[in-house]
């Protein structure tokens, strides 16, 4: 029982960290040109696949 609870807590923490990263990234990307940096372009492409940017 404890294992299920701790796994759930870990998933929730990971989800919150991911959403926080997306929020920070969206804020930073508005200020920079993502096309000039291939790493930023890759991150942007991956996030667009997994996150609804309209929220």
pLDDT in tens, the chain (55 residues): 789 999 999 999 999 998 888 888 777 776 666 567 788 778 777 877 766 655 5
> 41 CB contacts (<8 Å, ≥6 apart)?
34, 35
**How far apart (Å, rounded) are the C-alpha atoms in residues 46 and 49?**
5
22 in any annotated domain: yes
pLDDT at 14: 94
Given a contact cutoff of 8 angstroms between Cβ atoms, the answer to whether 44 and 29 are in contact is yes
**How far apart (Å, rounded) are the C-alpha atoms in residues 31 and 48?**
18
The first and second tokens of residue 52, run together, are 């609804």
pLDDT at 13: 96
20 in any annotated domain: yes
19 in any annotated domain: yes
Say which residue the tokens 């000039």 belong to: 36
pLDDT at 33: 64
55 in any annotated domain: no
> 30 CB contacts (<8 Å, ≥6 apart)?
none
């Amino acid at each position: 029982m404890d294992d299920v609870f701790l796994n759930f807590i870990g998933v929730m923490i990971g989800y919150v960290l991911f959403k926080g990263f997306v929020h920070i990234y969206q804020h930073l990307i508005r200020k920079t040109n993502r096309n000039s940096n291939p790493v930023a372009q890759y991150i942007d492409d991956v996030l667009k696949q997994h996150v609804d940017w309209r929220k």
